[in-house]
């Protein structure tokens, strides 16, 4: 018996050892980083950055066009010679909006592809799962595509910066607008079952009071059915319905309500309020009718009638195969523009440190309807939002902009939108 086992074990040992050796032989040892070597991902004529995006999975339908738009903007910049003589290479990895996959693809980007920075990683649950990792690795984690307040913790996460106006601010602004324009109505809220929903609720309650919301409902992205939630809101007699939902679920909520014969007023976070995307979900025939009067918050230029939209539409036609020009295109290109601006300001020979300094310097202006608020003690991009409504199929600003003071109250702002300079290609700071 022991004789057999011994041989048995020895055979396993030999097999495993050889398997191990084969694996080892195939891989290389990383060279040690010398102090004056160029930053990871930076060569004489390229800068390589990466992102994680939901190209497949539950959030894909709403957001998969963002990275294509960013890529199109970088193609445009590269066609004019790049930034400081370097073209921008943008590696897009699909995480399927699944935090477990995000962890794998981001490690691959950082360790295998040696990216200079992570740009615009999309999603609260997904990006939360790599937040610690990126900061331990000291990788610049710029302009996260989510409005969670987690990204604005300069002490704890010095390498992470937000892009969206945070959800607390959005909740406050929309609640303030409801109070200002729809006084006395019953306000309710449907929120995603994560930080997105939690923070939006916090914002709404900051303005309306702890018991200011008549009904608060939650949904989970993995369950494509919100009948129970919408029925409860209808039964509670809700009149203003605030939504902390991704595009797919905004459409699902409005569609479900319509099926229940309930036509009510919706107030949505910018994250789930892109008119063309929503019409795509709801259908060309009923979508425009259901979305008439739809209120949402935003901080980027409207899709029509301004210099930015004209420039981006031109880039979209030329470099994005004429894909539909929607809010995601605007978002993706705005992200690309802000990164190009930061990279230009990071100097002739950018390092991860100089890139961070460029962002925290407070000199970046971006392209929003109000100024950026990056600084040493703020990693939030926008601390205010404008109110948009849909009228006859056109989603545009109504001219009211609210700014949060970060302590739970909001005020009306008269900030001016940022103008286009140098045909949308940031020039070097020096």
Partner 1 sequence: MSVESELSGRGASAADSVRASATGMGVGTPSSAASVARASTTGRRRTRLLGTALVLTALAIGGTFLLDPYRNYQLALVAAYFCATAGLSLLIGLTGQLSLGHAALMAVGGYGYAITANALTDAGVDGVARFALAILAALGASGLVGLLLGLAAARLRGPYLAGVTLALVIALPAVTAVFSGALGGDQGLQIAYDDVPPALATIIAVEQWQAWVAIGAAAVVVTVLSGIRSGVLGLRMRAVRDDEVAARLNGVRAGRVKVFAFTVSAVAAGAGGAVLCFVTQSVSPGAYTLAFSLLLVVAVVIGGLGSMLGALLGSVVIVLLPWLIGTLTGAMDLPADLTQRLSGNLPVLVFGALLIVVTLLWPAGIRGALPARLSLRRRVSPAASSPPTPAPPTTAPEQPTQE
Q: Least distance from C-beta 408 to partner 1, angstroms?
A: 24
Closest to partner 1 by CB, 316 vs 388, is 316
Q: Least distance from C-beta 336 to partner 1, angstroms?
A: 16
Q: Least distance from C-beta 102 to partner 1, angstroms?
A: 9
Residues within the interface to partner 1 (CB under 8 A)? 1-2, 4-20, 23-24, 27-30, 55-56, 64, 68, 94, 96, 98-101, 103, 107-108, 111-112, 124-125, 128-129, 132-133, 136, 193-195, 218, 220-223
Closest to partner 1 by CB, 112 vs 284, is 112
Closest to partner 1 by CB, 129 vs 164, is 129
Closest to partner 1 by CB, 199 vs 341, is 199
Q: Least distance from C-beta 249 to partner 1, angstroms?
A: 12
3-state secondary structure the chain: CHHHHHHHHHHHHHHHHHHHHHHHHHCCCCCCCCCCCCCCCECCCEEEEEEEECCCCCCHHHHCHHHHHHHHHHHHHHHCCCECCEEEEEEEEECCCCHHHHHHHHHHHHHHCCCCCEECCECHHHHHHHHHHHHHCCCCEEEEECCCHHHCCCCCCCCEEECCCCHHHHHHHHHHHHHHHCCCCCEEEEEECCHHHHHHHHHHHHHHCCCCEEEEEEECCCCCCCHHHHHHHHHCCCCEEEEECCHHHHHHHHHHHHHCCCCCEEEECHHHCCHHHHHHHHCCCCHHHHCCCCEEEECCCCCCCCHHHHHHHHHHHHHCCCCCCCHHHHHHHHHHHHHHHHHHHCCCCCCHHHHHHHHHCCCCCCCCCCCCCCECCECCCCCEEEEEEEECCEEEEEEEEEEECCCCCEEECCCCCCCCCHHHCCCCCC
Q: Least distance from C-beta 200 to partner 1, angstroms?
A: 15
Closest to partner 1 by CB, 17 vs 227, is 17
Closest to partner 1 by CB, 9 vs 411, is 9
Q: Least distance from C-beta 130 to partner 1, angstroms?
A: 9
Closest to partner 1 by CB, 10 vs 289, is 10
Q: Least distance from C-beta 16 to partner 1, angstroms?
A: 5
């Amino acid at each position: 018996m022991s004789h057999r086992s011994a041989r048995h074990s020895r055979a396993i040992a030999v097999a495993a050892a050889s398997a191990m050796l084969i694996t080892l032989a195939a891989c290389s040892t990383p060279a040690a980083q010398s102090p004056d070597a160029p930053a990871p991902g930076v060569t004489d004529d390229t800068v390589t950055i990466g992102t994680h995006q939901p190209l497949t999975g539950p959030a894909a339908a709403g957001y998969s066009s963002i990275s294509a738009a960013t890529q199109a903007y970088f193609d445009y910049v590269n066609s004019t010679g790049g930034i400081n003589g370097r073209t921008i290479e943008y590696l897009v990895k699909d995480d399927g909006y699944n935090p477990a996959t995000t962890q794998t693809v981001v490690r691959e980007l950082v360790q295998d592809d040696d990216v200079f920075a992570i740009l615009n990683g999309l999603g609260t649950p997904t990006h939360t799962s790599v937040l610690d990792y990126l900061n331990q690795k000291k990788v610049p984690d710029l302009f996260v595509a989510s409005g969670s307040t987690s990204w604005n913790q300069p002490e704890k996460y010095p390498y992470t910066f937000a892009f969206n106006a945070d959800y607390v601010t959005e909740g406050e602004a929309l609640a303030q607008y409801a109070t200002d324009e729809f006084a006395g109505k019953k306000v309710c809220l449907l929120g995603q079952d994560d930080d997105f929903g939690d923070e939006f609720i916090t914002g709404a309650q900051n303005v309306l009071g702890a018991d200011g919301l008549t009904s608060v409902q939650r949904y989970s992205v993995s369950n494509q059915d919100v009948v129970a939630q919408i029925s409860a809101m209808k039964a509670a007699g809700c009149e203003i319905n605030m939504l902390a939902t991704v595009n797919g679920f905004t459409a699902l909520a409005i569609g479900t309500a319509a099926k229940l014969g309930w036509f009510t007023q919706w107030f949505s976070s910018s994250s789930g309020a892109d008119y063309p995307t929503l019409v795509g979900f709801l259908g060309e025939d009923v979508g425009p009718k259901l979305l008439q009067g739809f209120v949402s918050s935003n901080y980027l230029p409207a899709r029509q009638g301004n210099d930015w939209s004209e420039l981006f539409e031109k880039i979209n036609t030329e470099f994005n195969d004429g894909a539909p020009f929607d809010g995601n295109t605007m978002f993706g290109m705005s992200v690309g523009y802000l990164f190009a601006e930061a990279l230009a300001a990071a100097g002739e020979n950018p390092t991860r440190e100089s890139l961070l300094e460029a962002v925290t310097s407070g000199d970046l202006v971006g392209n929003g309807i109000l100024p950026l608020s990056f600084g040493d003690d703020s990693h939030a991009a926008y601390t205010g939002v404008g109110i948009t409504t849909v009228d006859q199929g056109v989603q545009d600003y109504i001219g009211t902009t609210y700014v949060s003071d970060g302590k739970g109250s909001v005020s009306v702002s008269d900030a001016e939108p940022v103008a286009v300079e140098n045909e949308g290609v940031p020039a070097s700071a020096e």
